[in-house]
């Protein structure tokens, strides 16, 4: 029943589809971003404004996620990273944490066949060993089932914090130095990147933050060094394919200098 309510209030209008088609025509295939990262914010406020419990906002957020993953594959992104649960989110009431973990498990069990069919490789990033056992099992199953997929790399940041990621990386690098496998003089930015959860992946080209807040919230702190931000007041449960394409079209008009000068 809840699912029906969520879908009723989240229906895509014909206007959205018209805009989506117009924007798709505006996409420049020679300037596509490789990696888009998203802070899926605003679920709680979206639900409260409709007199619903926050958990229904998260459930509506899963519908947006489903649409955005599909659209990311369609437009040919290499990597999509979404922030699903931070190292700080444990501070939320127990019922909300439990309902988020339940949603994650439900999502991974329900979606994995379709994700694999669409050649999407799922990777959870974060301190995964601290997740409840049911979430760890769902994550391991999704990793194993999708490990041979060669299309979109879909990173789900779970119990993720940018500082915790750097702390883990420093600890692993330190252990290699102590074991004599690496000398301190050989530690450089490449070595640090190679010890992050996103090792081997390009840094995000675009960071999308819906719901109006203007902060990074401990997300991908190292990787965002030269990322272009795309901010919107739209709440995550109202975020659709049309918004993703708009972000990419805007990105394509930006002048990225990476600290240098215009050519």
Q: Please pick, from the candidates 6, 23, 37, 44, the single residue that binds ligand FPP as defined by CB under 6 A.
A: 44
- Tell me if residue 43 is catalytic: no
Rounded-to-5 percentages of helix, strand, coil across the chain? 55, 15, 35
Of the residues 16, 89, 168, 218, only one is catalytic, namely 89
- Tell me if residue 89 is catalytic: yes
Q: Please pick, from the candidates 35, 36, 43, 201, the single residue that binds ligand FPP as defined by CB under 6 A.
A: 43
Nearest to 111 by CA among 75, 63, 54: 63
Nearer residue to ligand FPP within complex by CB, 61 or 162: 61
61 near ligand FPP, judged by CB under 6 A? yes
Task: Tell me how far apart the alpha carbons of residues 108 and 105 are, in angstroms, rounded to a whole number.
Answer: 5
Nearer residue to ligand FPP within complex by CB, 135 or 196: 135
Q: What is the token pair recorded at 227?
A: 């990322």
Q: Please pick, from the candidates 87, 107, 123, 230, the single residue that binds ligand FPP as defined by CB under 6 A.
A: 107
DSSP strand E in 52-152: where? 79-86, 121-125
Site string for ligand FPP, 130-169 (x = CB under 6 A): --------------------------x-------------
Q: What is the token pair recorded at 181?
A: 């496998």
Sign, CA dihedral 63-66-67-69, equals positive
- Which residues in the 68-87 window bind ligand FPP by CB under 6 A? 84
Using CB under 6 A as the binding criterion, the count of chain residues that bind ligand FPP stands at 18
Based on DSSP, count helices (H) and strands (E) in the chain, helices before strands. Answer: 9, 6
Q: Which stretch binds ligand FPP (CB under 6 A): 23-31, 101-109, 134-142, 201-209?
A: 101-109
């Amino acid at each position: 029943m809840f699912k029906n309510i969520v879908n009723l209030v989240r229906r895509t209008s014909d206007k959205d589809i018209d805009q989506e088609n117009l924007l798709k025509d505006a996409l420049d295939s020679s300037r596509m971003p490789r990696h888009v990262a998203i802070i899926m914010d605003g679920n709680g406020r979206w639900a409260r404004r409709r007199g619903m419990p926050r958990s229904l906002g998260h459930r509506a957020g899963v519908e947006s996620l489903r649409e955005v993953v599909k659209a990311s594959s369609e437009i040919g992104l290499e990597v999509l990273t979404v922030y699903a649960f931070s190292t700080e989110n444990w501070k939320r009431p127990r019922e909300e944490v439990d309902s988020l973990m339940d949603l994650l498990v439900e999502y991974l069990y329900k979606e994995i066949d379709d994700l694999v069919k669409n050649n999407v490789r799922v990777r959870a990033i974060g301190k995964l060993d601290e997740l409840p056992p049911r979430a760890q099992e769902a994550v391991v199953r999704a990793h194993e089932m999708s490990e041979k997929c060669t299309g979109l790399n879909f990173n789900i940041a779970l119990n993720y914090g940018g500082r915790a990621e750097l702390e883990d990386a420093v600890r692993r690098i330190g252990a290699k130095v102590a074991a004599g496998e690496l000398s301190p003089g050989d530690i450089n930015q490449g070595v640090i990147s190679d010890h992050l959860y996103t090792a081997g992946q390009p840094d995000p080209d675009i960071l999308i933050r819906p719901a109006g807040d203007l902060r990074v919230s401990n997300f991908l702190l190292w990787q965002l060094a030269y990322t272009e931000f795309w901010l919107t007041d739209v709440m995550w449960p109202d975020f659709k394919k049309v918004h993703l394409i708009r972000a990419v079209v805007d990105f394509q008009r930006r002048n990225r200098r990476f600290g240098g000068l215009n050519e």
